[in-house]
């Protein structure tokens, strides 16, 4: 049992007879400690509790959900963290939960598109003087941007060494000077780059050209969770033993179990632990592991990238902007560009969401909330000089929040894509989950969810195997054995 206090899991004496041992094995309920009550930790806890494990979930914040954070202070839900379901299709690991809850989705893009694709989305882009960029030009530059990305794939396939997306851009421009656009078209191209940087929460100078497209894109396009992500978290966490304000700072692993200690000195012991902490927290070195993590695991933590994207949510008393999904300001550099998601389209509430990423997000985090909101509003005034001031605002700080220390993971230049898998691989009775352990869907909610399920299953198998219960389970549940398909006799 995972118990608070200074208890270790039961130790077996050397002279324990086999029959006593057998009885102990049968009597004990397998136990697990989950660390981090984000989507991954909650998914793992739910699965293990449903598999009759004794479960305790330790969470450092005074709330659950982690980087899923729906705020209700405006009188309606708005997401400060994740807000899209990437891949509105039945193959999405979260589709069943979302479907069962009847939660509405608002699609902002079509099949097989990443967020910076232009199809199906409606944009209104403006220059710094407030002149709207003609729509044909926006579409045309969008096509050029896609063409450049195709050329980037050719360039990187020819080279052994990795390079950044911005280096790859330069090579493509040298080879095909006609793709290097001028004037306002150049600025629109920078805006597309700015959207791409938002997707990775990182600057083009750091994103790997070899790996930028390695994640798996589910079909169905991207759907905004109209009522926020919170109902999903609430449903999955029902009935779990969650201890809020429990910041873990030490994890000890022994052959017969794990011991987890919090900042306040509370100790929990169990057969196994699932670590579902953000990559940024693991990178910070604030969690002591005993014994130390092996080099290959520590390298995965060090070498995976973690980017920053934030949201500055502006609530107005009326809608005075065009009826499009995205409003954007184009500029000479991607750093100078900006965009707003028009939540009014999806939710009917007069809300615009400003979303800076990479260095810009880092710079804005240095400001007070008030200054950050003013900055976002000043960007809006470039488009609409007569814009009325927001009545409320919310500002996220995912980069400096000690509970996240970053928004989500991405592939940095010169580092292999298999780092996600290395981060996931268990160490004895320690299992790892979280978006940064997902090779297929890193940086997403459904990715975090599926890693939680996977870690739970690995944990269940290992712990039950240890107690010899897996054999019984298999005997009981699958009496008629199905022959294995063996291709070589």
Ligand X SMILES: Cc1cc2nc3c(=O)[nH]c(=O)nc-3n(C[C@H](O)[C@H](O)[C@H](O)COP(=O)(O)OP(=O)(O)OC[C@H]3O[C@@H](n4cnc5c(N)ncnc54)[C@H](O)[C@@H]3O)c2cc1C
Q: Which residues bind ligand X (CB under 6 A)?
A: 35-41, 58-61, 66-68, 81-84, 86, 247-248, 276-278, 281, 309-311, 396, 398, 403-404, 407-408, 434-435, 443-445, 448
Which helix H or strand E contains 96, and what residues bound it?
helix 95-101
Q: How far is the CB of 4 from ligand X (least distance, A)?
A: 15
Q: How far is the CB of 130 from ligand X (least distance, A)?
A: 28
The answer for residues whose C-beta is within 8 angstroms of residue 245's C-beta and 6 or more apart is: 59, 60, 61, 62
To the question of whether residue 248 is assigned a binding role by annotation, the answer is yes
CB closer to ligand X out of 144 and 249: 249
Which helix H or strand E contains 152, and what residues bound it?
helix 135-158
CB closer to ligand X out of 162 and 221: 221
- The dihedral through the CA atoms of 151, 157, 161, 162 has a sign that is positive
CB closer to ligand X out of 142 and 434: 434
Closest CA to 450 of 126, 91, 24: 91
Burial readout 129-168 (b: 16 or more C-beta within 10 A, e: otherwise): eeeebeeeebeebbebbeebbebbeebbeeeeebbbbbbb
How many other β-carbons are positioned within 10 Å of the β-carbon of residue 462? 17
How many Cα neighbours within 13 Å face the side chain of 467?
21
CB closer to ligand X out of 189 and 281: 281
Q: How far is the CB of 250 from ligand X (least distance, A)?
A: 10
CB closer to ligand X out of 257 and 434: 434
Q: How far is the CB of 273 from ligand X (least distance, A)?
A: 11
Closest CA to 137 of 185, 191, 183, 88: 185
Cis bond before residue 291 (omega within 30° of 0): yes
Task: Confirm if 394 and 78 have CB atoms less than 8 A apart.
Answer: yes
CB closer to ligand X out of 46 and 156: 46
Q: How far is the CB of 181 from ligand X (least distance, A)?
A: 29
- The dihedral through the CA atoms of 194, 195, 201, 202 has a sign that is negative
Q: Which residue is nearest to ligand X (CB)?
A: 38
Q: How far is the CB of 311 from ligand X (least distance, A)?
A: 5
Q: How far is the CB of 58 from ligand X (least distance, A)?
A: 5
CB closer to ligand X out of 276 and 327: 276
Chain position carrying tokens 């691989």: 425
Strand positions, DSSP E, 134-256: 222-225, 242-243, 248-254
The answer for residues whose C-beta is within 8 angstroms of residue 372's C-beta and 6 or more apart is: 312, 364, 365, 395
Distance between CA 351 and CA 315 in Å, rounded? Answer: 5
Q: How far is the CB of 453 from ligand X (least distance, A)?
A: 12
Distance between CA 319 and CA 208 in Å, rounded? Answer: 40
3-state helix, strand, coil in the chain (%, to 5): 35, 20, 45
CB closer to ligand X out of 317 and 363: 363
Closest CA to 198 of 279, 108, 284, 117: 117
CB closer to ligand X out of 310 and 334: 310
Distance between CA 34 and CA 50 in Å, rounded? Answer: 14
Task: Confirm if 126 and 133 have CB atoms less than 8 A apart.
Answer: yes
To the question of whether residue 335 is assigned a binding role by annotation, the answer is no
CB closer to ligand X out of 247 and 466: 247
* Binding-site residues from annotation: 248, 354
**Which amino acids are annotated as binding site for FAD, given as ranges?**
248
Task: Give binding residues for substrate as ranges.
Answer: 354
């Amino acid at each position: 049992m995972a118990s608070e206090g200074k208890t270790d899991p039961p130790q077996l004496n050397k002279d324990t007879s086999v029959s006593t041992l057998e009885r102990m094995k049968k009597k004990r309920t397998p136990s697990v400690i989950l660390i981090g009550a984000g989507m991954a930790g909650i998914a793992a806890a739910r699965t293990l509790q449903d598999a009759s494990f004794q479960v305790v979930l330790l969470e450092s914040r005074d709330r659950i959900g982690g980087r899923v954070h729906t705020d209700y202070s405006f009188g309606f839900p708005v997401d400060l963290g994740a807000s899209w379901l990437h891949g509105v299709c039945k193959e999405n690991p979260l589709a069943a939960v979302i479907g069962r809850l009847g939660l509405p989705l608002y699609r902002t893009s079509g099949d097989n598109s990443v967020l910076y694709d232009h199809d199906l989305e409606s944009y209104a882009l403006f220059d710094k003087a407030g002149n709207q960029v003609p729509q044909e030009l926006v579409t045309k530059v969008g096509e050029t941007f896609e063409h450049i990305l195709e050329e980037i794939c050719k360039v990187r396939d020819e080279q052994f060494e990795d390079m950044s997306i911005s280096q790859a851009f330069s090579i493509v421009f040298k080879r095909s000077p006609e793709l290097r656009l001028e004037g306002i078209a150049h600025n629109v191209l920078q805006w597309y780059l700015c959207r791409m940087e938002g997707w990775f929460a990182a600057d083009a100078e750091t994103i790997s050209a070899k790996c930028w497209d390695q994640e798996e894109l589910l079909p169905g396009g991207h759907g905004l969770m109209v009522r926020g992500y919170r109902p999903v978290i609430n449903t999955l966490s029902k009935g779990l033993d969650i201890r809020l304000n429990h910041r873990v700072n030490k994890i000890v692993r022994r052959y017969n179990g794990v011991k987890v200690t919090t900042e306040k000195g509370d100790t929990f012991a169990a057969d196994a632990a699932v670590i579902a902490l953000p990559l940024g927290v693991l990178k910070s070195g604030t969690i002591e592991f005993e014994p130390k993590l092996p080099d290959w695991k520590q390298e995965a933590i060090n070498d995976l990238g973690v980017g920053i994207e934030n949201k500055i949510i502006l609530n107005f008393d009326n809608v005075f902007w065009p009826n499009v999904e995205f409003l954007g300001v184009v500029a000479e550099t991607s750093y100078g560009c900006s965009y707003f998601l028009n939540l009014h389209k999806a939710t009917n509430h007069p809300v615009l969401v400003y979303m800076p990423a990479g260095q810009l997000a880092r710079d804005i985090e240095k400001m007070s909330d008030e200054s950050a909101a003013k900055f976002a509003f000043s960007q809006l005034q470039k488009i609409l000089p007569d814009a009325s001031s927001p009545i409320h605002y919310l500002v996220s700080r995912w980069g400096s929040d000690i509970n996240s220390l970053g928004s989500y993971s991405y592939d940095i230049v010169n580092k292999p894509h298999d780092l996600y898998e290395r981060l996931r691989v268990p160490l004895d009775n320690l299992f790892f989950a979280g978006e940064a352990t997902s090779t297929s869907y890193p940086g997403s909610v459904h990715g975090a969810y599926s890693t939680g399920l996977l870690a739970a299953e690995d944990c269940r198998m290992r712990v039950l195997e240890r107690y010899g219960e897996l054999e019984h389970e298999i005997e009981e549940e699958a009496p008629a054995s199905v022959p294995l398909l063996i291709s070589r006799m």
